[in-house]
């Protein structure tokens, strides 16, 4: 019996001895492959690469190249914002929009003002305003003997994050942040409109232009011309600074596909009010007074309330499509809910306060916004990879993980910003992309050839061509997937 136990013991020791060198060899191979890539890739000459790779099961750091150096995360900043929002607000949290009045209804007439109070909902569509108007109609209101007033005071009146480049003012990804706003479609790019440009019926005819949603809030100046099929497609769509005048110039060949572009508008509060007034008109509800911005009284009567989709559903367009507006709204909402002020300052205080829960410290970071559009944001790769490790124990992690883009999956709301990348390892990578001028980043989870999960964070800064960064990231993740 003793001899049998001794033989079993030595067999167990042999198994352990055989496994340890194998794991060490695997880690050594992984390190040597990534080291070689970082050393020989021409696009990284003069650039900085922060790389951190961990075991998903225990957080063990498998590879570290400048992992403690603070680098610009670009949209990898959204990984922190999403985790903080889920922890602070909860995955079932929703935004609300209220319709209130300071008057009373008599004989189908509301004698008083009608207030549209926004509380941050970035998912409001034209159809939602129509539903609200229909509800008012069903309540018996046919006329408002007062003003239509938009209340956006749930947040402060600062519309742009501190480091937003002036050149991004008219873009959809740099659109103004307001507590009362509207989106053109279910991508939910709040504070923007979609401009569609089509060829005219014949060469020499003006191009056709369609705006979504239909609104007269913006003025379109169409100077685009339809040209023959042999000529080039060259269209520019620009909005004037501090105005809602959009000019379309250039040429579009006959029978060519439409050109589609999202444009951030000026003053999203008035934009939302314009859409709501249109909806009231279609329901034959007449507003006697003017349309303007203002405050709803504290004792106002609630007539109707609209709730957004829950946060766990909003995370999908937020992370998969890298929606900057959602990130900044979540920052302001955390500030409003936890500190009574819907501002970047208070929201970032909440974010910093949540980080220790995940084993992170903001003392190693510079945090200026929620989206990562700032070139001043700085986070070490090791901190991002540790966040992705530690949040796996949270009950809301499945919603977080599900919202990350999936490599190679062509469906927009599955593959997201990775739908055209890493098709050879399709479905095995779920990660957040990030791009700024001179910056490319990618952080997330990868399933290896043996079925293990690894966590990685790749931050590439000071690139001459940030598009080359994506190619390098894909190579690096491919190495991980083939371990």
Q: pLDDT digits over 114-134, tens only? A: 999 999 999 999 999 999 999
- What are the distances in angstroms from CA 51 to CA 148, 349, 370, 395? 54, 27, 22, 28
Distance CA 388, CA 193 (A): 34
Summarize the confidence of residues 100-106 as an average pLDDT: 97
Q: Tell me the per-residue pLDDT of 259-292, one tens digit each, with 9 for 90 and over.
A: 999 999 999 999 999 999 999 999 999 999 999 9
Give residue 421's pLDDT. Answer: 98
Output the six-digit token pair for 404: 């990350």
Give residue 19's pLDDT. Answer: 42
Where do you find CATH 3.40.710.10 in the chain? Answer: 26-92+312-481
Give residue 28's pLDDT. Answer: 79
Position 463 pLDDT exceeds 50: yes
Q: What single DSSP character describes residue 318?
A: I
Position 14 pLDDT exceeds 50: no
Percent of the chain's residues with pLDDT above 70: 95
Confidence band for 2, pLDDT divided at 50, 70 and 90:
low
Q: Residue 272: which of 254, 250, 300, 291 has the closest Cα? A: 291
Summarize the confidence of residues 313-319 as an average pLDDT: 98
For residue 379, the surrounding DSSP H or E stretch is strand 379-380
Distance CA 413, CA 321 (A): 8
For residue 333, the surrounding DSSP H or E stretch is helix 324-339
For residue 78, the surrounding DSSP H or E stretch is helix 77-89
Confidence band for 3, pLDDT divided at 50, 70 and 90:
low
Provide the CATH number for the domain formed by 96-158+268-308 in this structure.
Answer: 3.50.80.20
Q: Which residue has the higher pLDDT, 31 or 11?
A: 31
Confidence band for 24, pLDDT divided at 50, 70 and 90:
low
Q: What single DSSP character describes residue 205?
A: S
What number of other Cβ atoms are within 10 A of residue 117's Cβ? Answer: 22
CA atoms within 13 A on the CB side of 316: 13
CB 52 within 8 A of CB 30: no
Position 7 pLDDT exceeds 60: no
Distance CA 366, CA 375 (A): 10
CB 195 within 8 A of CB 347: no
**Residues designated as active site:** 75, 78, 322
Summarize the confidence of residues 143-148 as an average pLDDT: 98
Q: Tell me the per-residue pLDDT of 28-79, one tens digit each, with 9 for 90 and over.
A: 799 999 999 999 999 999 999 999 999 999 999 999 999 999 999 999 999 9
Which residues have a Cβ under 8 Å from the Cβ of 444 and sit 6 or more positions away? Answer: 388, 404, 429, 430, 431, 432, 455, 456
Distance CA 64, CA 69 (A): 11
Length of the chain: 483
pTM of the model: 0.94
Q: What top-level class would CATH report for the domain 26-92+312-481?
A: alpha beta
CB 479 within 8 A of CB 34: yes
Where do you find CATH 3.50.80.20 in the chain? Answer: 96-158+268-308
Position 23 pLDDT exceeds 60: no
Confidence band for 26, pLDDT divided at 50, 70 and 90:
low
Q: Which residue has the higher pLDDT, 432 or 29?
A: 432
User: What are the E-state strand segments in 141-233?
Assistant: 143-144, 148-151, 192-198, 208-212, 219-227
Position 10 pLDDT exceeds 70: no
Percent of the chain's residues with pLDDT above 90: 94
Give residue 458's pLDDT. Answer: 99
Summarize the confidence of residues 401-410 as an average pLDDT: 98
| Summary mean pLDDT of the chain | 95
Summarize the confidence of residues 349-368 as an average pLDDT: 97
Q: Residue 250: which of 269, 231, 271 has the closest Cα? A: 231
CB 224 within 8 A of CB 249: yes
């Amino acid at each position: 019996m003793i001899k049998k136990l001794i033989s079993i013991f030595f067999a167990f020791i042999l198994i352990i001895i055989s496994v340890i060198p194998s794991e060490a060899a695997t880690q050594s191979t992984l390190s040597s492959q990534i080291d070689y890539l970082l050393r020989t890739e021409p696009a990284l000459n003069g650039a900085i690469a922060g790389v951190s790779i961990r075991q998903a099961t225990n957080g063990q750091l498998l590879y570290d190249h400048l992992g403690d150096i603070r680098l610009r995360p670009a949209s990898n900043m959204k990984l922190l914002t999403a985790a903080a929002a889920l922890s602070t607000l909860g995955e079932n949290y929703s935004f609300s929009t209220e319709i209130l009045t300071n008057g009373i209804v008599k004989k189908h007439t509301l004698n008083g003002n009608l207030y549209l109070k926004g509380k941050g909902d970035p998912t409001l569509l034209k159809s939602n305003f129509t539903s609200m108007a229909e509800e008012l109609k069903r309540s018996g209101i046919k006329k408002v003997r007062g003003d239509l007033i938009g209340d956006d005071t749930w947040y402060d009146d600062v519309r742009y994050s501190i480091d937003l480049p002036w050149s991004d003012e008219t873009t959809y990804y740099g659109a103004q942040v307001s507590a009362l706003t509207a989106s053109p479609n279910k991508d939910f790019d709040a504070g923007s409109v979609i401009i569609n440009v089509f060829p005219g019926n014949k060469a020499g005819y003006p191009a056709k232009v369609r705006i979504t949603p239909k609104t007269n809030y913006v003025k379109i100046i169409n100077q685009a011309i339809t040209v023959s099929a042999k000529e080039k497609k060259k269209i520019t769509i620009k909005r004037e600074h501090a105005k809602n005048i959009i000019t379309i110039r250039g040429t579009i060949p006959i029978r060519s596909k439409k050109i589609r572009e999202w444009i951030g508008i000026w003053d999203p509060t008035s934009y939302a009010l314009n859409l709501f007034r249109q909806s009231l008109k279609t329901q034959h509800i007449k507003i006697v007074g003017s349309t303007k911005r203002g405050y709803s009284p504290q004792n106002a009567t609630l007539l109707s309330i609209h709730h957004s989709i829950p946060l766990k559903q909003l995370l999908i367009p937020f992370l998969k499509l890298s929606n900057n507006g959602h990130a900044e709204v979540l920052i302001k909402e955390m500030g409003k809910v936890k500190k009574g002020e819907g501002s970047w300052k208070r929201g970032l205080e909440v974010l910093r306060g949540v980080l220790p829960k995940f084993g992170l410290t903001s003392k190693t970071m510079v945090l200026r916004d929620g989206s990562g559009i700032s070139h001043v944001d700085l986070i070490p790769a090791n901190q991002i990879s540790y966040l992705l490790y530690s949040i796996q124990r949270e009950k809301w992690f499945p919603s977080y993980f599900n919202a990350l883009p999936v490599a190679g999956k062509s469906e927009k709301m599955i593959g997201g910003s990775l739908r055209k990348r890493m098709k050879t390892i399709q479905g095995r990578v779920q990660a957040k992309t990030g791009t700024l001028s001179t910056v490319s980043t990618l952080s997330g989870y990868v399933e290896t050839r043996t079925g293990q999960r690894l966590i990685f964070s790749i931050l590439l800064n000071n690139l001459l061509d940030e598009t080359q960064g994506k190619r390098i990231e894909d190579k690096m993740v491919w190495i991980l997937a083939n371990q």
